[in-house]
Chains A and B, each alone.
Chain A
């Protein structure tokens, strides 16, 4: 059975039981009182009956003596049996108080009957005088019976006086009890009903409150209902729902976060594309001009300048072309050498590059223009400001699954904060000039290209020398980078 239903049933049963109990008690009491009243009335009626029966008998006897017909005799016999019956009934009324009186009474009735019989006997023997004497005596006895009835009734009244008063008092007390009982039951029922209704409505109220909180969007409040009925079950389900919704929301939030990151990446991509587009403005004119300049320099006998111009044109071309596509490490190294050639034209002996390249590693794919900005950085920080110039070590080492590309300089080093900034891809304010593609740009592109975070190490004691290690996987994790539109 359901719990709330059970509760209601219990309440109804208790109320019903109380009502039944009271009804039963009252009915029983009423019945008892009624019986007592009946008994009392019976006593009086029976005694009175004897008087009337005796008088009736005398009348019958008189009739018979005056006119001795069988009819009258019949009547006489009838009244005789009547008085016998009355006597039997009266003798039942005997108790300690009136034993003597009742015995006397019944004996008196016997005497009456005997005297009547005697009168009849004398009548049948035609002794009318004796018969009449007996009749007189019977009449006297009948009179005594009447008197004794009155005496008995009087005695009864005295004997039962206390009893009657008790009955009256009790009936008055019963009224009072009834009122008190009504008050008590009303009070108890009100209390019980209040408690009972509370036990139903309180959980509902709690549930309502919880639902309100939920509708306001607070999903973190635990729904707790302490009851043992369906409401508690409902609350439990509700709570589970809340937890589920909570989970769903946090999932959605995570997704949104992801989406946002993706969006950022896209924006970044578009920005770089825009930049590359901008930088493509009329590049051919520039190349052609550079070629012309190179030719002119060659013709004028300045071979060195001509070569330098070719390098610049190559570098520029590469720069514009390769930014958004993968190239081999070999190409990168080549471009890096061209850049060094150009710089060497500027710094002459001050720039010394020592390269140690494992050729077997040159086939790995890298994003375009990854080495040049790092080398440029080294040149700017380690060579340019130094009067005596600087040394740059360039190594490509096969490290098993990865290829390590190390660019080391003997410049003044990098602070820890700066390293952190670079590795966390913050835009670094570049000192001096560069080709525009910064350090952090490289890091970002490498991470995007390989789909892993651990792509670069920067070692520097902050005083002298900086060593940048690119850790390039031999196989690429993702290839989304390639699918970027070619705008070369």
Chain B
């Protein structure tokens, strides 16, 4: 009897002890992962990559490449940007300048306010600017260099592909947006330079405001005017989707030769659906990497000055059958 009582009491005691200690351990343990305060970061270069279209796969890849490179080099990099809103985008640039980052890598925007920011304000604060993917001429933006595809070359490539697919005879519609951005001009001139040598190929260059309805309207108008059109090239990749929608509404898409670039929101999807016959594929990750690398080289004084003409990344033609 006495032994049983002692046993029960002992068991009770041990159980209580156990639960108390487990509970106390939980209550007093403090393994919260608080961010470590740091001074080492002070010496790192602070870079900002600013783009207009944060959500786009193309720009995401650019960001990834840049971040990878920055991490390798021990620089801190943040990717800022807007979701297709120019005002926001410009504001971000201004904030970047005001926060005195060491370098700005930016998607070129061929507008006055952009140029004003880079040329005047960034230069005033002595902050180097590198344009990436979309260039703005050096003389207008005071950029240190450009990293990205040779857009002129890309235009030529797409035109060559077109001729190869369509033959040396036909009507081609070049659809660009109304901003007349530098990279688009380059692409157009590349295309036109190729097609010039084919007198039987008629090119129709059209510009459209970049709202969806207007793109559709412009496309409809163009097709009305040129019912015998054979090919479309969306110079601005963002226009491709709406354009295709209108084309598809009119007739089958298959007979048309439709080309675009990979830096549009829907480019990859359209390609996979087979709606595009060909697409220029650029190397966004390389762009990110090289731009960060160049920026750091410039900041460290390893390569001064940087190549004005830019560091070109690889481009290749992606045909519909490759994508499928």
Contacts and interface: CB of A to CB of B under 8 A. Distances in A.
Interface stretch (B36-44, B109-117, B273-281): B36-44
A443 B76 CA distance: 136
A162 B35 contact: no
A108 B33 contact: no
A70 B41 CA distance: 41
Contacts of A29: 27-28
Contact of B23 (A94, A141, A173): A173
B19 A180 contact: yes
B20 A177 contact: yes
B23 A180 contact: yes
Contacts of B16: 180, 183-184, 187
B226 interface: no
Contacts of A110: 100
Nearest to B19: A180
A404 interface: no
Nearest to B28: A29
Interface in B9-41: 9, 12-13, 16-17, 19-20, 23-24, 26-28, 30, 32-38, 41
A103 B42 contact: yes
Nearest to B26: A173
A105 interface: yes
A188 B20 CA distance: 13
A94 B95 CA distance: 19
B99 interface: yes
Contacts of B36: 95-96
B78 interface: yes
B41 A103 contact: yes
Contact of A166 (B17, B32, B35, B37): B32
Nearest to A167: B32
A191 B98 contact: no
B181 interface: no
Contacts of A170: 26-28, 30
A104 interface: yes
A99 B99 contact: no
Interface in B29-65: 30, 32-38, 41-42, 46
A244 interface: no
B20 A108 contact: no
Given A107-B100, A177-B24, A183-B16, A100 B38 contact: no
* Chain B facing A: main interface SS: helix
Interface in A146-199: 148, 159-160, 162-163, 166, 169-170, 173-174, 176-177, 180-181, 183-184, 187-188, 191
Interface residues of A, number: 39
B210 interface: no
A107 B98 contact: yes
A111 interface: yes
Interface string B88-109: 0001001100111100000000
Contacts of B32: 162-163, 166
A97 B98 contact: no
A140 interface: yes
Interface in A68-115: 94-100, 103-105, 107-108, 110-111
Contacts of B38: 94-96, 99
Most buried by A among B34, B41, B98: B98
Interface in A109-126: 110-111
B35 A96 contact: yes
Contacts of A25: 28
A270 B124 CA distance: 154
Given A99-B76, A110-B100, A111-B99, A176 B23 contact: yes
B105 to A, nearest CB: 15
Given A107-B98, A170-B26, A187 B12 contact: yes
A318 interface: no
B35 A98 contact: yes
A144 interface: yes
Nearest to B20: A180
A160 B24 CA distance: 23
Contacts of A141: 98
A300 B157 CA distance: 207
B78 A100 contact: yes
A276 B27 CA distance: 111
A189 to B, nearest CB: 12
Contacts of A184: 13, 16-17, 20
A177 B23 contact: yes
B35 A97 contact: yes
Which of A96, A166, A169, A177 has the largest count of B CB atoms less than 10 A from its CB? A177
A148 B78 CA distance: 14
A141 B38 CA distance: 26
B98 A108 contact: yes
A105 B95 CA distance: 10
A99 B41 CA distance: 7
Contact of A108 (B34, B41, B76, B95): B95
A144 B98 contact: yes
A481 B16 CA distance: 91
A104 B94 CA distance: 12
Contacts of A97: 35
A444 to B, nearest CB: 67
B295 to A, nearest CB: 15
26 contacts: A94-B37, A95-B34, A95-B36, A95-B37, A98-B35, A103-B99, A104-B99, A104-B100, A107-B99, A144-B95, A148-B95, A163-B33, A163-B34, A170-B26, A170-B28, A170-B30, A174-B27, A176-B27, A177-B23, A180-B19, A181-B20, A181-B24, A183-B16, A184-B20, A187-B12, A191-B9
Given A180-B16, A180-B20, 5 more contacts: A94-B38, A108-B99, A173-B23, A173-B26, A180-B23
Interface of A: 25, 29, 32, 94-100, 103-105, 107-108, 110-111, 140-141, 144, 148, 159-160, 162-163, 166, 169-170, 173-174, 176-177, 180-181, 183-184, 187-188, 191
The 8 A-B pairs at the shortest CB distance, nearest first, are namely: A104-B99, A95-B35, A99-B41, A97-B35, A107-B100, A173-B27, A177-B23, A111-B98
